[in-house]
Structure 1
């Protein structure tokens, strides 16, 4: 794996939609810089550098106030690049870590002091090699107060994961709604299965994000808007939003981040919904302390 890939748009448009004051891009990443923060030898992709300066410039360009930086799989369990970006944010970023399940309490406390407020479990087999689920449950039971678990999976394994999800003893955040097939519409079987998960416990948040990944019809992603808007309307206090910049493994389709932002009023049409999605809900999860 020697060829480095670029997965982000070089000149994203200015969105027509203006996010409300305090809006949070609650799902984004940093890559490197590799010279300072080498990528994991187990990484399944090798990206070009996309460091904090680029991320914060995009934040300002899109009209957001803060970021939640999620540890990218290419950095494995070395969270140094994410912690560095948080430290350079002047208090405008928090993070989600990826950890070795054997991490001790002292290391978790250091991550907390560095701005982390959750850990991520990734069940996409094409990206990571997973530890046994009992190890994940054990580390979830030892998280600092106020932390949560972020989980990334695809819809075809949701039923298989249900016992594991039910057993996690802290709040959950589901990345990209568990990647349902949005072409099935708002009442399709995969969206119904996801709604059943949300109904199973009140402490699950979700990210109605990544139309570029989930809607094969392409920009402007009409199928995504149709399928996802009812979900946001029905669970307004349990959704958070993010760009997914710099769009890991999307090198073949470079989404315009301005167009991604313009999806927000299509899935959250009222000012009240927009404030909950972009300000109130992420603030409660990441800046409550």
Structure 2
């Protein structure tokens, strides 16, 4: 079922729309579970996409996001600003304000953002900013500008979310380790899972986390990393099995500094669009005990995004 884009926008050619009828997960989420990485797109007629965007998605509204949350069994969301909206956070803020306190946000801001604008974002529920270093998605922002933003949001108790690819970690290391905030890495820094889990590339990422206790990681988006894809193994529901060893090692090594999210509505996928119910069933493969599951899905995101309730 194709999802339209409203307003004067035409979807990027070949765009994969989000899965219309996700299955009900077999894995029962712990009470209070948080989907700690998801997005809203538009709707374009109400919240126009940024002129500088690298892609035009289908619309994916707050109502559709919240319906998915209920279907999967999550209690809360962390909505991350999508690059197609640039630094115009209106769609994000609208979703947070409509959530009844069940959502927090990660915004994108520029150096020109005023203190009053930051305070308004905080009041809406924003608790972090995202710095994107994936060159195919965004244009380069000078590191001095990003460092200035990080210093300002640190005063609000916010954190920085960083999105990069594994091959770029060596050149970004010095900048990342100077950030004054908690630093949350999207999707384990996108490791190449066709390489050995004990190889030098992933070892560098683990070293990054070992040496810097302010660094957290999302162990999400196996559909972006997998080569084997959403296939069963020996009759078992073990989708994206080539990602399991990588995510499991991060969860085992840093159980108090990991987060998980669906990444709905899954922007810029080229191979397949994942079933969000199947993604939830991936969780017990990377966090096999009830204790690890509660830390990953409840304790850690609550500590970071709703500290006033802990």
Bucket of the pairwise TM-score, normalised by the shorter protein: over 0.9
Q: What displacement does 1:104 show?
A: 2.1
- Give the conservation status (yes or no) of the 8 Å contact 2:159–2:184: yes
Distance in 2, matches of 1:251 and 1:47, equals 13
Q: What displacement does 1:228 show?
A: 1.7
Decide which of 73, 88, 92 is 1:63's aligned counterpart. Answer: 73
- SS of the residue 2:37 aligns to: strand
- Give the conservation status (yes or no) of the 8 Å contact 1:208–1:240: yes
- Give the conservation status (yes or no) of the 8 Å contact 1:186–1:228: no
Q: Residues 88-116 of structure 1, C-alpha deviation per residue, up to 9 Å, x if partnerless?
A: 11110000000112212211111101100
Q: What displacement does 1:227 show?
A: 2.3
Match of 2:48 in 1: 38
Distance in 2, matches of 1:34 and 1:213, equals 25
- SS of the residue 1:246 aligns to: coil
**Quick check: 1:247 aligned with 2:247?**
no
- SS of the residue 1:173 aligns to: strand
Match of 1:18 in 2: 28
Q: What displacement does 1:6 show?
A: 4.2
Distance in 2, matches of 1:172 and 1:216, equals 28
Normalization by structure 1: what TM-score?
Answer: 0.97
Q: Residues 106-148 of structure 1, C-alpha deviation per residue, up to 9 Å, x if partnerless?
A: 1111110110000000001111112100110011001143200
Normalization by structure 2: what TM-score?
Answer: 0.91
Distance in 1, matches of 2:177 and 2:245, equals 29
Decide which of 285, 288, 292 is 1:273's aligned counterpart. Answer: 292
- Give the conservation status (yes or no) of the 8 Å contact 2:19–2:274: yes
**Quick check: 1:213 aligned with 2:212?**
no
Distance in 1, matches of 2:159 and 2:17, equals 28
Q: What displacement does 1:12 show?
A: 0.8
Distance in 2, matches of 1:9 and 1:188, equals 34
CA RMSD of aligned residues (A): 1.2
**Quick check: 1:259 aligned with 2:285?**
no
- Give the conservation status (yes or no) of the 8 Å contact 2:33–2:75: yes
Aligned residues: 289
Decide which of 121, 127, 144 is 2:137's aligned counterpart. Answer: 127
Moved more, 177-186 or 61-70: 177-186
- Give the conservation status (yes or no) of the 8 Å contact 1:172–1:203: yes
Structure 1 unaligned runs (5+)?
A: none
